[in-house]
Chain A
Amino acid sequence: KQEVTQIPAALSVPEGENLVLNCSFTDSAIYNLQWFRQDPGKGLTSLLLIQSSQREQTSGRLNASLDKSSGRSTLYIAASQPGDSATYLCAVGSNYKLTFGKGTLLTVNP
């Protein structure tokens, strides 16, 4: 059974800092990994998708890496802004479904 862990559970940083969110998974037989953002009471916004054959993906200030063999992914956010405040969810695609971590609650203080 796939299990996904995200560390830290919560993170508070001042505006402008670069930060890293971590995701680990137990079964390396995955076909992709997605990072999502969820604002309070809202649905999920897809941020980045990494295929199992890829090492990283970039979108603007976001960079996600994947090390499938070690079961790890990181989401790097450069020059954080208050608008980045949200819960960030990592989801691993395997066995025709996504398995989610519990998320990292990010607060960026002005």
Chain B
Amino acid sequence: SAVISQKPSRDICQRGTSLTIQCQVDSQVTMMFWYRQQPGQSLTLIATANQGSEATYESGFVIDKFPISRPNLTFSTLTVSNMSPEDSSIYLCSVEFSGGYNEQFFGPGTRLTVL
């Protein structure tokens, strides 16, 4: 497993602004993922972020709205741009180790409220 941290743990933002969420892992990982969990719902994959390549976005999510960076093997950021109240969710990052049976481990999440 791994120790995964996210910053901030929670935030309250005004509509029209942007927030960048950081995900830090204590060891090198090949694959990192960003998920959204809307109130009362399960997790939905936003994108897969591999170091050295562009993020791969799932249907319904676009880079202009959710730009992602993956500068190295232990760190990634997700930006939620031009926020609206519909973006109020918990955002979670997860990691998958190469050769680790595709098991994913999750960070503690960032609870975002947009007013």
Instruction: Give residues in A with beta carbon < 8 Å to B.
Output: 31-32, 34, 36, 41-46, 49, 51, 89, 91, 93, 96-103
Contacts and interface: CB of A to CB of B under 8 A. Distances in A.
A41 B92 CA distance: 11
Contact of A44 (B41, B92, B101, B102): B92
Interface of B: 1, 33, 41-45, 48, 58, 90, 92, 94, 101-109, 111
Contacts of A34: 103-104
Query: Which of A36, A43, A89 has the largest count of B CB atoms less than 10 A from its CB?
Result: A43
Closest 3 CB pairs of A and B: A44-B106, A43-B108, A100-B42
Contact of A97 (B33, B105, B107, B109): B33
Given A36-B106, A44-B92, A97 B43 contact: no
SS class of chain B's interface: helix, strand, loop or mixed?
strand
Query: Which of B41, B90, B92, B106 has the largest count of A CB atoms less than 10 A from its CB?
Result: B106
Contact of B45 (A31, A36, A97): A97
A49 B42 contact: no
B92 A43 contact: yes
A27 to B, nearest CB: 16
A96 B31 CA distance: 10
Contact of B104 (A42, A98, A103): A98
B103 A46 contact: yes
Query: Which of B94, B103, B108 has the largest count of A CB atoms less than 10 A from its CB?
Result: B103
Contact of B41 (A46, A93, A102): A102
Contacts of A96: 48
A99 B48 CA distance: 13
Query: Which of A44, A51, A101 has the largest count of B CB atoms less than 10 A from its CB?
Result: A44
Contact of B102 (A36, A43, A93, A102): A93
